[in-house]
Amino acid sequence: MSDPPISMPSRPEPRADLVVTDSPMPADIAVISDALDRFNIERTGIDDRRPLAVLVRDPETQQVIGGLTGRTSLGLFFVDLFFLPPGLRGSGLGGEILRQAENEARVRGCRAAVLYTITFQAPGFYRKHGWRLLGEVPCDPPGAGRVFMTKELAAETGSV
């Protein structure tokens, strides 16, 4: 003889409207980011999330023309965006930007850094500066891939 089926207590179905968009408002993004940040703080007791940027400005106009943006949180440095105009590439400026960002991350207590780039962007640049491959996921155009990389920061000794 088999046991009778166990019925699970019914839960009210959550009520929410879903909106798919390619143009979320900055305030909407802030709601999600702030809520996730509060969740992380509640779970870890650590409130250390901060933006990090190294900006490149045109010396005449003082307008930003490139640089690196990212953030530090929970002992990690995340590189989000890194761009230099073609005329500034190959001069050592990119390496200096990366060095300054990594040093600031160390000052903030980060032990490691993570980023992703694309095979046609800059994986060789990052390897040259001590980053190593975590993995690659194919993307478009055919033959290209998103390259996920990491670098240990705590072990490095450099000017801070």
Residue 152 has pLDDT above 60, yes or no: yes
Confidence tier at 12 by pLDDT (50, 70, 90): confident
Tell me the whole-structure pTM to 2 decimals: 0.83
Task: Taking residues 100-116, report their average pLDDT.
Answer: 98
Nearest C-alpha neighbor of 88 from the set 136, 56, 128: 56
Confidence tier at 159 by pLDDT (50, 70, 90): very low
